[in-house]
């Protein structure tokens, strides 16, 4: 039996509250993995950050457009719960329904509703946070993500709109708040965050499949919310309850967290919604490149607002930018892959900079204003390589 298999069985045997303490049970091999993530996290694919696992861009070259489930980053506030799909229920209730007591649906009920498949990225609002420190000299505490808190998948499920209609949503509905079945987070309660009714009725999916397979435990099994284009926290995993209210709803995750605060922002800046424009190069920082040989530098660029219009690369510290070639799919709320031929002349250090522009005419800036929590770092990232 492999370690990961043994670990899975152990997780299955554990009660949900016990999962948070799993790290203490650890044999040396498990000490490498954070408590409460079920899938194997080989170090060549992931960097462990607390309870989270970041995808490594430097080993991502050659991955297909859709991030394979086993390579997808994991961001857990506590730990992955294991939920029995046979007894699972989704409760939909609240003052925004014709009858406030609402409805309760099993997974079978949900699968009998019309299904839909979408491609969408999930990206943490804190993706890129470490660059506030390494690039702008204003470090921010919190998970020191590089650029790997993002992935793109095909999600199949039922549109939230259909479930809300079935529950008898009325025109008085204002906010819709999905809540996770994972452990409570301190005094903040279960992970939950309201969506305005307009977004909830637009393109939000309740997904039970990821890339053609049942949703894996770490990504929200048996059911997760997918909110295309928006910061990852909106896409509640392990959703068990959805409140539909005729008034605004609040939780830690739309009040004290996931808003831009700091000297550059007003005190009443709104909760974060759509994602910024970003780019990542599929090379290690400090990669060695042979001089006078032709290399193909590859990477991906993405935006939560519109598909990518163009990607440009500078090899002279941001002086002159030249177009990279976009190839393959370029879907909304997802990314596009690009390539750039590079034949470095002389040995020595070289700095690559990639800058994307989306069809909403947003171009990655050279720097971004500081915010206290280090959200939405979307400036051009300086990527050093060594020509040898």
Ligand X SMILES: Nc1nc2c(c(=O)[nH]1)N[C@H]1C(S)=C(S)[C@@H](COP(=O)(O)O)O[C@H]1N2
Q: Which residues bind Mo ion (CB under 5 A)?
A: 75, 124, 232-233
In DSSP terms, 259 is beta-bridged to: 271
- Least gap, CB of 302 to ligand X (angstroms): 14
The closest alpha carbon to 116, from 206, 196, 215, belongs to 206
Residues 228-247, one symbol each (x = binds ligand X by CB under 6 A, - = not), give: ----xx-xxxx---------
Residue 199 engages ligand X in binding (rule: CB under 6 A): no
List CB contacts of 159: < 8 A, sequence separation 6 or more: 114, 116, 203, 204, 205, 206
# binding residues, ligand X (CB under 6 A): 18
DSSP 19-74: HTTHHHH--TTGGGSPTT--S---TTTEEEETTEEEE-GGG-TT--SSPPGGGS-B
Identify the residue whose tokens are 């990961």: 4
Of the candidate spans 6-14, 68-76, 283-291, 303-311, the one that interacts with ligand X by CB under 6 A turns out to be 68-76
Query: Minimal distance in Å, beta carbon 224 to ligand X?
Result: 7
| Side-chain-side CA neighbours of residue 39 (13 Å) | 24
Which is closer to ligand X, CB of 195 or CB of 233? 233
Taking CB under 6 A as the rule, which mask of x and - marks residues 98-117 in contact with ligand X? --------------------
**For residues 46 and 73, which CB has a smaller minimum distance to ligand X in the complex?**
73
The structure tokens listed for 267 are 């005190």
- The option from Mo ion, ligand X, none interacting with 180 (CB < 5 to 8 A, set by class) reads ligand X
Closer residue to ligand X in complex, CB, 77/383: 77
| C-alpha to C-alpha distance for 60 and 69, rounded to whole angstroms | 13
233 or 315: CB nearest ligand X: 233
The CA-based dihedral angle spanning residues 373, 68, 353, 350, taken in that order and rounded to the nearest 10 degrees: 120
If one asks whether residue 76 binds ligand X (CB under 6 A), the answer comes out as yes
Binding site residues, ligand X, CB under 6 A: 72-77, 122, 124, 180, 182, 191, 219, 232-233, 235-238
């Amino acid at each position: 039996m492999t370690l990961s298999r043994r670990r899975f069985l152990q997780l299955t045997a554990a009660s949900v509250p016990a999962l948070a303490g799993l790290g203490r049970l650890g044999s040396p091999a498990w000490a490498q993995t954070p408590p409460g993530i079920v899938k194997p996290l080989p170090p060549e694919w992931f960097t462990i950050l607390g309870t989270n696992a970041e995808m490594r861009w430097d080993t991502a070259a050659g991955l297909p457009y859709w991030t394979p489930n086993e390579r997808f980053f994991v961001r857990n506030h506590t730990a992955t719960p294991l939920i029995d799909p046979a007894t699972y229920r989704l409760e939909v209730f609240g003052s925004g329904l014709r009858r406030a007591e609402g409805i309760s649906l099993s997974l079978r009920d949900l699968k009998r509703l019309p299904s839909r498949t979408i491609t969408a990225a999930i990206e943490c609002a804190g993706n890129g946070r470490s660059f506030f420190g390494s690039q702008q000299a204003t470090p921010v505490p919190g998970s020191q993500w590089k650029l790997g808190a993002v992935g793109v998948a095909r999600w199949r499920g039922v549109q939230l709109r259909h479930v809300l209609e079935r529950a008898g949503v009325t025109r008085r509905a204002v906010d819709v708040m999905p809540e996770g079945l994972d452990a409570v987070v301190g005094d903040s309660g279960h992970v939950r965050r309201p969506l305005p009714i307009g977004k909830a009725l637009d393109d939000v999916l309740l997904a039970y499949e990821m890339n053609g397979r049942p949703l894996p435990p770490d990504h929200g099994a048996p059911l997760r919310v997918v909110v295309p284009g928006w910061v990852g926290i909106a896409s509640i995993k392990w959703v068990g309850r959805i409140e539909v209210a005729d008034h605004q709803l609040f939780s830690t995750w739309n009040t004290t967290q996931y808003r831009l605060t700091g000297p550059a922002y007003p005190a009443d800046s709104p909760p974060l919604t759509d994602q910024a424009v970003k780019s990542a190069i599929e090379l290690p920082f400090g990669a060695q490149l042979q001089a006078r040989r032709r290399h193909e530098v590859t990477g991906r660029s993405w935006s939560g607002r519109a598909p990518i219009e163009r990607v440009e690369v500078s090899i002279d510290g941001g002086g002159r930018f030249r177009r990279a070639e976009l190839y393959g799919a370029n879907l909304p709320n997802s990314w596009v892959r690009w390539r750039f031929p590079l034949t470095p002349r002389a040995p020595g250090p070289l700095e690559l900079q990639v800058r994307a522009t989306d069809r909403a005419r947003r171009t990655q800036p050279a720097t971004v204003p500081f915010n206290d929590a280090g959200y939405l770092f979307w400036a051009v990232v300086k990527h050093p390589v060594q020509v040898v």
